[in-house]
Structure 1
């Protein structure tokens, strides 16, 4: 695996940007009476996901990064709820496919979170493990 240099190297960020672009394009097709309410909520939630991944990755600590990933996951849940409503009301034709993409981004985010939590525990365990000193040879 290549080294992660910036948020742009994270697959979760890449897929979240793709999802946000799709949501922006699809929201143009909403009925006129939904354009100022639901459209703006959809766009805000969709853009929040990659933005929080990017901001978190630029922070100094793993804990801060995790906090921003949790916020991104919250925005993803909000977007999923909005798309579930859209799907049930049949406001957009591709809502089902978008729900699948949302689930995929969710799996990527959860994997990234799990990776950071696990590596943090491993690092903590290594730091707390007593080292055995060997006596010098006589």
Structure 2
């Protein structure tokens, strides 16, 4: 089976782990949030790894960097949703801190990858 370049990126692997964590955390949100925060958090978490994967297929460094910017933006969108979930007491302080730690790691790696493409 062929392995694509994005599958070797630590940032992509971490973003998959973050998405899995978000899916697990959102299982415990109220049912009336199914089409609200649950849907938005899941979509933005999946968007992170999707943009990283799509960006690696682009031909120019500028296009690659653009998709890393979109992945970064999706990560911050997710963080905003996690903050709202914490404020509404849908997730615990401990889970919030764990997710925030994952977000910081992913955003740092996305930023480094984007800068690499811009400097190349």
The question of a shared fold, defined as TM-score above 0.5 by the shorter chain, is answered with yes
1:87 CA displacement: 1.6
Could you tell me whether the CA contact under 8 Å between 1:26 and 1:92 is conserved in 2? yes
Q: Does 1:38 align with 2:37?
A: yes
**Larger Rg computed on CA atoms:** 1
Listed one character per residue, the Cα deviations across residues 105-131 of structure 1 (whole Å, up to 9, x for unaligned) are: 01111111122222x2xxxxxxxxxxx
Residue segments in structure 1 that go unaligned for 5+ positions in a row:
121-138
Q: Segments of 4+ in structure 1 off by > 4 A?
A: none
Does 1:95 pair with 2:103? no
CA contact (8 A) 2:65 2:115 kept: no
Q: Deviations over 1:54-79 (max 9, x none)?
A: 00101111111111111111111100
If the length of structure 1 is used for normalisation, what is the TM-score? 0.79
Instruction: Please tell me the root mean square deviation across aligned C-alpha atoms, in Å.
Output: 1.1
**1:64 alignment counterpart:** 63
User: Relative contact order (C-alpha < 8 Å, sep 6+): which is higher?
Assistant: 2
Q: Distance in 2 between matches of 1:68 and 1:80?
A: 18
Q: Which has the higher helix share?
A: 2
Q: Structure 1 residues 5-14 or 42-51, which shifts more?
A: 5-14
Q: For the residues of structure 2 that align with 1:8 and 1:58, how far apart are their CA atoms?
A: 12
**What TM-score results when the alignment is normalised by the length of structure 2?**
0.90
How far apart, in 1, do the equivalents of 2:46 and 2:13 lie? 12
